[in-house]
Structures are given as structure tokens and as C-alpha cells.
Structure 1
Amino acid sequence: MRGDACRDSVDARLAARLAALRTEHGWSLDELSGRAGVSRSTLSRLERGELSPTTSVLGQLCTAYGRTMSRLLMEVEEEPAPLVRAASQPVRRDERSGFTRRSVSPPHPALRGEVVEGTLDAGASIVYGNAPVPGVEQHVWVLDGTVEITVEGAAHTVHRGDCLRFRLHGPSRFHCPGPDPVRYALLIVLP
């Protein structure tokens, strides 16, 4: 499957997985809404596949469910092969936030680490309200451009070639001050 058909299939599996996660936790839409800070109507539309989640909303849901976004997306992708060819790496573009996420080395149930390539448009920001998995280890290596990363209140300006590493326990923010987009590798290691 290619193009729109492939994306639609992934979106349908994501909608089903979000509904299944809520059921597994025994939460009503109202309870999940309170935990995630996402309206009940938006949650309902997401679970029915009528709406594709933004990166921000997906981040809020991942926090509520205690998993990384990569892990959730892996759960709706096919089992990754040991060699992940560039052409088969899942890519998700959020036009509203100006963020593109390529899962270079998708999560695998037997592994604790993964590699993500992120591209953030000039002037764009992504805010994560809380750590999806408290204590998750992250290494951000900037490949092109500059990104301002705020981790639990501490701001860092990370330039091309620099690497910021930390354990995440609270909120974080990625902002591209421009004038060019930023492209970075994010290495995630579960505790």
C-alpha cells in the first residue's frame, strides 16, 4: 500500500488502538478527557477515525497512557524488520504544528531504545505537557539548524552538531527560532 491508502490504513489502526487503550484502562471518555486534557468530543472523533490527532493531542494521550509516542505508533505499524530501509521508515507530518517525525529505528518490544528524526519548521513549537514515561532518557543531536529545548523549566539552545541529553520527568518544549527549519535525531531509551 502506498500514499493516501497507506496513511488511511495507519490512521484507522491508530483510531482502533486509541479506543482499545481506553477500554484496557477501564476509562470512560469523560475520565480520559480529564486525565489527558482533551475534550470528550475530540476523543470520541479520534476513536471513530473521524479526526487525525495532532502531535500535541497525541502527546497528551501518550502521557495519560504512560507510553512514548513512538511506542504507540509502533503498536499500529507492522512488526519492524532488523534492517529498516529509509523508504519504509514511517513518517508522520503534522501540518498544524509544522512538525515532521520519521521513525528511523522504530520501537521493538525486545528493545528499550529507538531513533527518531524530527524536523520542525522555522518559528514552530511543540509543547509536551508531561513526560510520556517518567524518567525516559532522551538525546537530541541537531543535524541542521538550531532548536531551543526547554526541559522542566531549563532552556537550552542547541546548534548544529550539538547534543542535549537528559532524563525527562516533566514538561518539555521544542522551538525552532529560524530562520531555517531544524532537523535533529532524537534517541529515546526507556527506563
Structure 2
Amino acid sequence: MSGGRLGGQDAIGEAVARTVRALRAGHGWSLDELAGRAGVSKGVLVGLEQGRGNPNLGTLIRISDALGVPLTRLVQVEEEPPVRLFRPERHVVLWEGEQGGTGTLLAGSDPRPSLELWNWVLRPGETRESDAHVPGTKEIVFVEEGTLTLSVDGRTDLVEEGSAAVFAGDRAHSYGNGGDADVRFVLAVLDL
């Protein structure tokens, strides 16, 4: 079969194309940068990302090594579904305050870069201290009720009900309730 593809090769080629494009974008790399890191020509990489050509095993291994993923990740035909539901029974309380406040992980994606969605309730007087996350991590908080005391890297801001704040999660930070009523907020974490 000169030049032909065996059955199933089209699906594998599409899986490789989709995965390499997504991982390269996740790293923020250009085609040239990935080609250089993997030691393959840009033309080979372009063909691969467009689902054309038939890359050999050595090329796939060099690309997977450069991207920091196992080879199986590149050739998996099964695509992650476009929607993953996290029903209430899958929500996990991962923090409990001394007064009964909670930090509940509602949903998350994987692998990195990962996105997490949290629901928080801080009772009066409670504070959640957080160490710095990996470099580049960003967080967004939206206060649904009360006033949140947000401290990031030594700076403190009051985030009032109905307001949102974006901040560097790769610095030490804390969420606090200095008032006399509950503070409720939603938090998204982009962990790079």
C-alpha cells in the first residue's frame, strides 16, 4: 500500500493533529518554537497539525517529549467530550472554617492548564490562607453577598457585593470575612 492509509489511520491522524495543536497552544508556543524544541522541520509539524502525512514513530516521540506528554496522549483517538457535567453529588467540600464556612470545588478541568470553579462561604471572622500556586496562575473572584477582604502579596482590598476582582494566584493570598454576616463568593482558578 504505497502512500495509502490503513483503516483507522485517518482517525489517529485527526487525534494527533487535534492534540498537538491544543498542547502547543497550551504552552503558548509557535509552530517554529515547537519544531525547534522537538528537532523536526516546521513542514512536518504543519502537516501533522493539519492531519496530513504519516509521521514516523521517532517524530511522534520527539514531539511528545517536547510537549512533556506520553506518546499515548498524542495518538488517543477518544476525544474528551465537549461537555463534562459535574452534578451536585460530585461537588467536594475541600475547606471547612472554624465557624462552619466552606470552600467547595464545583468543577475542574485537567490536565494543565487547568481551570477550577469554586463556591465559597466565609462565616464572620473566618479567613482562608492560601500559599502561592504555580507561576502564572490567575484567579477571579465574584462576590455574591457581603464584603470579601482579599489580601494578595501584602496588599489588602475590599471586594464588595456584586464586584469582581482578578488577581495573581502565584503569590501568597487570603480570603477573609471581617464583617458580621456571611460572605459568599464564586472563585475561578486558572492553573497554568
Q: Which ranges of structure 2 fall in alignment gaps of 5 or more residues?
A: 1-82
CA–CA distance in structure 2, aligned partners of residues 184 and 146 of structure 1? 9
Aligned partner of residue 87 in structure 1, secondary structure: helix
Conservation of the 8 A alpha-carbon contact between 1:146 and 1:178: yes
Give the structure 1 partner of residue 123 of structure 2. Answer: 121
CA–CA distance in structure 2, aligned partners of residues 95 and 172 of structure 1? 16
Give the structure 2 partner of residue 142 of structure 1. Answer: 143
CA–CA distance in structure 2, aligned partners of residues 174 and 131 of structure 1? 13
Give the structure 2 partner of residue 94 of structure 1. Answer: 96
How many pairs align?
Answer: 110
Alpha-carbon distance change, 175 to 187 in structure 1, aligned in 2, over 3 angstroms: same
Give the structure 2 partner of residue 75 of structure 1. Answer: none
Give the structure 1 partner of residue 105 of structure 2. Answer: 103
Aligned partner of residue 179 in structure 2, secondary structure: coil
Alpha-carbon distance change, 98 to 141 in structure 1, aligned in 2, over 3 angstroms: same
Matching of residues 1-191 of structure 1 within 5 Å: 82-96=84-98, 98-109=100-111, 112-128=114-130, 130-191=131-192
Alpha-carbon distance change, 169 to 106 in structure 1, aligned in 2, over 3 angstroms: closer
Give the structure 1 partner of residue 71 of structure 2. Answer: none
Conservation of the 8 A alpha-carbon contact between 1:97 and 1:125: no
Alpha-carbon distance change, 84 to 169 in structure 1, aligned in 2, over 3 angstroms: closer
Say which one has the larger Rg: 2
CA–CA distance in structure 1, aligned partners of residues 179 and 132 of structure 2? 26
Q: Which ranges of structure 1 fall in alignment gaps of 5 or more residues?
A: 1-80
Aligned partner of residue 134 in structure 1, secondary structure: coil
TM-align CA RMSD = 2.1
Alpha-carbon distance change, 127 to 97 in structure 1, aligned in 2, over 3 angstroms: farther
| AA in 2 matched with 1:121 | R
Cα distance, 1:132 vs. partner? 2.4
Conservation of the 8 A alpha-carbon contact between 2:115 and 2:191: yes
| AA in 2 matched with 1:124 | E
Summarize deviations over 1:1-36 as a string: whole Å, max 9, x none: xxxxxxxxxxxxxxxxxxxxxxxxxxxxxxxxxxxx
Conservation of the 8 A alpha-carbon contact between 2:107 and 2:117: yes
CA–CA distance in structure 1, aligned partners of residues 170 and 90 of structure 2? 32
Aligned partner of residue 89 in structure 2, secondary structure: helix
Give the structure 1 partner of residue 41 of structure 2. Answer: none
| AA in 2 matched with 1:84 | F
Which ranges of 4 or more aligned residues in structure 1 deviate by more than 4 Å? none
